[in-house]
Amino acid sequence: MLIRRAADILSSEITPPEIYRERRRFMQGMGALAAGAALGTAAEAEAGVRLAGVRASPYKLDDAKTPYKDVTSYNNFYEFGTGKSDPAENAGSLKTRPWTVAVEGEVRNPRLYDIDTLLKLAPLEERVYRMRCVEGWSMVIPWVGFSLRELIRRAEPTGDAKYVEFVTLHDPKQMPGQRARILDWPYVEGLRLDEAMHPLTLLAVGLYGEVLPNQNGAPVRLVVPWKYGFKSAKSIVKIRFVEKQPLTAWMAAAPQEYGFYSNVNPSVDHPRWSQAKERRIGEFFKRDTLMFNGYGAQVAQLYRGMDLKKFF
């Protein structure tokens, strides 16, 4: 075999990075499909595989989408490390098959869902949402999933259910960041029942039309676009309906900095920085932060009469 020196290779012979990435994702997808056929497992088991039957959604934006590369390489997911690149580098250890999600608590129909059953619970939609991090950066992401209220409707909450609690997988062998006492693991988040029932609240199983990558919360995560990103629990294994407000992971760690509601609000600063501006990933200049992340017309009525500086 002829081996050529790098200096002898013309620039025109080098595959552009974007083409290489798309080709690599295609080959990964074909490999996953072959493995699924051989092992009798779902073809949706691996990131890079296209999700079938995804329909268009009315939840669209004129904003430019954040590139796939940035969405999947710049993340907060402390279960895999505190650096922005740590999740992409370390999340390969997470095994998303088999996977179950328990629905329990104050419901008439508790159930243990296999992830592949959950994928078929309701038609999948692509929804383009703004996402705002409490640290001051933001993205525009085309998620794939369905409204959480579809699952809630089947669970039939009792009259005692006032809140919904979400629990992430706790397994330090698969999630090396959990070996550090950054938070009191497992990661716990929560919503008021009416927030969880809002049609914007999404159970996401993919992005950019593909299976959700591990670093983005595979195989299933919450997306609440009018709240700061940490409210959108990832790699969920339990959804509990409860009477009392859950003690969330960040409230337990720093209650003076992280409130239960955590609505995007430019007039309520984090104790250590302003929330009035944000930097959209891929842009140089900062932009004004929008109240409720721009979803005020849809969700402001949920907080009518509330002091949002007190209930932050």
Position with higher pLDDT, 14 vs 86: 86
Position 6 confidence tier, pLDDT thresholds 50, 70, 90: very low
Alpha-carbon distance of 127 to 123, in angstroms, equals: 12
Residue 155 has pLDDT above 60, yes or no: yes
Position 8 confidence tier, pLDDT thresholds 50, 70, 90: very low
| Annotated domain spans of the chain | 16-49, 51-303
- Quick one: which of 107, 111, 110, 77 has its CA closest to 92? 77
170 and 178 Cβ atoms separated by less than 8 Å: yes
pTM of the model as a whole: 0.86
Residue 21 has pLDDT above 80, yes or no: no
Using H for helix, E for strand and C for coil, what is the string for the chain? CCCCCHHHCCHHHCCCHHHHHHHHHHHHHHHHHHHHHHHCCCHHHCCCCECCCCECCCCCCCCCCCCHHHHHHCCCCHHHCCCCCHHHHHHHHCCCCCCEEEEEECECCCEEEEHHHHHCCCCCEEEEEEEECCCCEEEEEEEEEEEHHHHHHHHCECCCCCEEEEEECCCCCCCHHHHCCCCCCCCEEEEEHHHHHCCCCEEEEEECCEECCHHHCCCCEEECCCEEHHHCCCCEEEEEEECCCCCCHHHHHCCCCCCCCCECCCCCCECCECCCEEEECCCCCCEECCHHHHCHHHHHHHHCCCCCCCCC
Location of structure tokens 């609240």: 201
Query: CB within 8 A of 210, min separation 6: which ones?
Result: 25, 29, 47, 48, 49, 50, 51, 144
Q: What percent of the chain has pLDDT over 70?
A: 86
CATH of segment(s) 51-303: 3.90.420.10
195 and 100 Cβ atoms separated by less than 8 Å: no
Structure confidence at residue 243 (pLDDT): 98
pLDDT in tens, 172-197: 999 999 999 999 999 999 999 999 99
Amino acid at position 102, single letter = A
Structure confidence at residue 45 (pLDDT): 59
pLDDT in tens, 115-143: 999 999 999 999 999 999 999 999 999 99
Position 58 confidence tier, pLDDT thresholds 50, 70, 90: confident
Alpha-carbon distance of 114 to 284, in angstroms, equals: 43
